[in-house]
Amino acid sequence: MLITGTLLLPDERKGGHAVRLSTGSLLVRDGRIAELREGEPAGTPDLGGDDALILPGFIDAHVHLPQFDSIGADGMELLEWLERVVYPAEARWADPDFAGAMALRACRQLASFGTTGIAAYLTVHHESSLAAARAVEAFGLRAVVGQTLMDREAPAELTRPAMQLLAEADAFVESLAGRPRIRAAVTPRFAVACTPELLAGAGAIAKRTGSPVQTHLAETEAECRRVAELFGGTPYAEVYDRAGLLGDRTILGHGIRLDEADRATLARTRSVVAHCPTANTFLRAGSMDRAGLRRAGVRLALGSDVAGGPDRSMVRVARAMLETAKARGDTPPAAADCWRQITAGNADALGWTDSGRITPTAWADLVVVAPDVPWRDAPDPPARLLYAWDDRWITATLAAGRLVYTRA
Ligand SMILES: [Zn+2]
């Protein structure tokens, strides 16, 4: 398959930490980018064309597939929202058929917004989590997914004894082993809903199997208070560190209320904080100190956190990241940094060296875009594209070289 247009490429002059735009063509073979040529393209493209913009597929580093029908339940603080909105939605996943079908629906929506890679939470239900994982894999997204583990402070129908959950988490890792596009993450929901025994067991599984870890960290004040009560005042990041859950494959959602010691713990363990600015605004959780965390050497990713975050588009989440920094009075990231964050930046955070970038041998996870605003001669083309962004510009999304969305 030949794809031509203006390509969003990593900018090696800046150590690959920025992006540049260049006319060129891509040859896609066996799900990967086989060839990349810059300059005027030759041949009739299968996708794209002179006016097309070709972007790496977007990556969402923190999202909840069972919550896609729960967007916009407003007016509650986190713990109340979990109890009244999220837990009832997750209880519906007791039925594996429902879970598989809903995961597929969520994948279709994500692809229509240009997302081709996810780090996603499922539910506590083992069979349903497996059904959802199979649906994600069959659809074609690149994914890290986890059965969510909870053994307290949640409805009885969504909690299980720690021993059972640990056996299931182990089996979940085992059943996704060796797959090219999907991987299991050990996923204790957060310290409030997990006993020390469950957290330590989860840490042991992650260590033994080398699996990624997903959990939530320091999103709201009430949550942090509860963690302090439950863990005898142990600092929140240290609760996870003591359980062996921190490391360079660990993605922690939010990280808003972190003191210097917490930040040092995260930096030392090379853990990643998934910044979720749209969710933080929606649940009025506060705003993450992105600049401060960066200064402390904490690795960062970006996530939609649907349905805490109402927006499924990673482009709008990236814009919210920029606007959050502005509202805090911090130096905001450049628009080019925003594009990099939702592509190669999030890929790096997830340890995916062959995703999120348009480069030979990388997965052909691509978004074909037809902007309806002049952008090539804008003073800052990435900024024009970011601020004027319209999902209707997406004409096609490819996951591993396969069309997973085309605009009608
Ligand atoms: Zn979340």
Domain range annotation of the chain: 2-56+356-406, 58-349
Ligand 1 centre and the CA of 380: distance in Å?
Answer: 33
- Judged by average pLDDT, the poorest of 14-23, 49-58, 237-246, 279-288 is 14-23
Sign of the alpha-carbon torsion through 1, 57, 212, 146: negative
Query: Residue 266: is it exposed, middle or buried by C-beta count within 10 angstroms (0-12/13-18/19+)?
Result: buried
Name residues whose C-beta falls within 8 Å of residue 308's C-beta, 6 or more positions apart in sequence.
Answer: 64, 67, 78, 81, 276, 279, 282, 283
Ligand 1 centre and the CA of 307: distance in Å?
Answer: 8
Ligand 1 centre and the CA of 14: distance in Å?
Answer: 32
pLDDT in tens, 195-247: 999 999 999 999 999 999 999 999 999 999 999 999 999 999 999 999 999 99
CA 210 distance to own-chain centroid: 19
In this model, does residue 16 exceed pLDDT 70? no
- Band (pLDDT 50/70/90 cuts) for residue 11 is confident
pLDDT in tens, 72-102: 999 999 999 999 999 999 999 999 999 999 9
Q: Are 182 and 145 in contact (CB under 8 A)?
A: yes
Ligand 1 centre and the CA of 200: distance in Å?
Answer: 21
- Distance between CA atoms of 157 and 66, rounded to whole angstroms? 15
Ligand 1 centre and the CA of 52: distance in Å?
Answer: 34
| Cα angle 184, 242, 183; round to 5 | 5
pLDDT at 384: 97
Ligand 1 centre and the CA of 335: distance in Å?
Answer: 25
pLDDT in tens, 241-287: 999 999 999 999 999 999 999 999 999 999 999 999 999 999 999 99
Ligand 1 centre and the CA of 13: distance in Å?
Answer: 35
Ligand 1 centre and the CA of 62: distance in Å?
Answer: 6
Task: Give the relative orientation of helices 96-112 and 126-139 as an angle to the nearest 10 degrees.
Answer: 30
Ligand 1 centre and the CA of 120: distance in Å?
Answer: 9
How distant, in Å, are the alpha carbons of 27, 245, 279, 357 from that of 62? Answer: 31, 17, 11, 19
pLDDT at 18: 75
Ligand 1 centre and the CA of 402: distance in Å?
Answer: 29
Polymer length of the chain: 408
Ligand 1 centre and the CA of 20: distance in Å?
Answer: 32
pLDDT in tens, 128-161: 999 999 999 999 999 999 999 999 999 999 999 9
Nearest-10 Cα torsion for 360, 361, 367, 373: -10
CATH (residue range 58-349): 3.20.20.140
Ligand 1 centre and the CA of 87: distance in Å?
Answer: 13
pLDDT at 19: 82
Ligand 1 centre and the CA of 68: distance in Å?
Answer: 12
Q: Smallest Cα–Cα separation from 282: which of 252, 303, 307?
A: 307
Ligand 1 centre and the CA of 39: distance in Å?
Answer: 42
Ligand 1 centre and the CA of 186: distance in Å?
Answer: 14
Ligand 1 centre and the CA of 30: distance in Å?
Answer: 34
CATH 2.30.40.10 fits 2-56+356-406, yes or no: yes
Q: Smallest Cα–Cα separation from 253: which of 302, 307, 202?
A: 302
- Distance between CA atoms of 284 and 273, rounded to whole angstroms? 18
Find the mean pLDDT for residues 337-361: 97
Ligand 1 centre and the CA of 63: distance in Å?
Answer: 6
Ligand 1 centre and the CA of 305: distance in Å?
Answer: 5
Ligand 1 centre and the CA of 219: distance in Å?
Answer: 9
Q: Smallest Cα–Cα separation from 285: which of 221, 214, 225?
A: 221
Ligand 1 centre and the CA of 134: distance in Å?
Answer: 21
Prior bond of 120 cis (ω within 30°): no
In one letter, which amino acid is 407? Answer: R
Ligand 1 centre and the CA of 21: distance in Å?
Answer: 33
Listed residues: CB within 5 A of ion ligand 1: 253, 305
In one letter, which amino acid is 153? Answer: E
| Residue for token pair 């240009």 | 114
Instruction: Look at strands 47-56 and 366-369 and give their pairing.
Output: antiparallel
Ligand 1 centre and the CA of 304: distance in Å?
Answer: 8
- Distance between CA atoms of 315 and 226, rounded to whole angstroms? 34
- Distance between CA atoms of 165 and 182, rounded to whole angstroms? 21
Ligand 1 centre and the CA of 19: distance in Å?
Answer: 28
- Distance between CA atoms of 205 and 210, rounded to whole angstroms? 8
Ligand 1 centre and the CA of 374: distance in Å?
Answer: 36
Ligand 1 centre and the CA of 153: distance in Å?
Answer: 17
